[in-house]
Amino acid sequence: MMDILRIILSILLPPLGVFLTVGLGLHFWLNILLTLLGYIPGIVHAIWIIARR
């Protein structure tokens, strides 16, 4: 159930979903960069991080 909530949050705000999954690590900062470069790459990366864990 928590993963579904994280995925929904990742669609709305990708870095938030990554932060809730891994904290302030490398993936969080990478996701911020990807979200700034394009919203869709940020979403894809966030969902990939959530599904992987």
User: What is the residue range of 22's domain?
Assistant: 2-52
Note the pTM of the prediction, 2 decimals.
Answer: 0.91
For residue 53, pLDDT over 90 is answered with no
User: How confident is the model at residue 19, as a pLDDT?
Assistant: 96
User: For residue range 9-50, what is the model confidence (pLDDT) as tens digits?
Assistant: 999 999 999 999 999 999 999 999 999 999 999 999 999 999
Cα–Cα distance between 48 and 5 in angstroms, integer? 14
User: What is the pLDDT, as a whole number, of residue 47?
Assistant: 96
Q: What total number of domains does the chain contain? A: 1
Q: Bin 17: left if φ > 0, else alpha if -120 < ψ < 50, else beta.
A: alpha
Residue 2 pLDDT greater than 90, yes or no: no
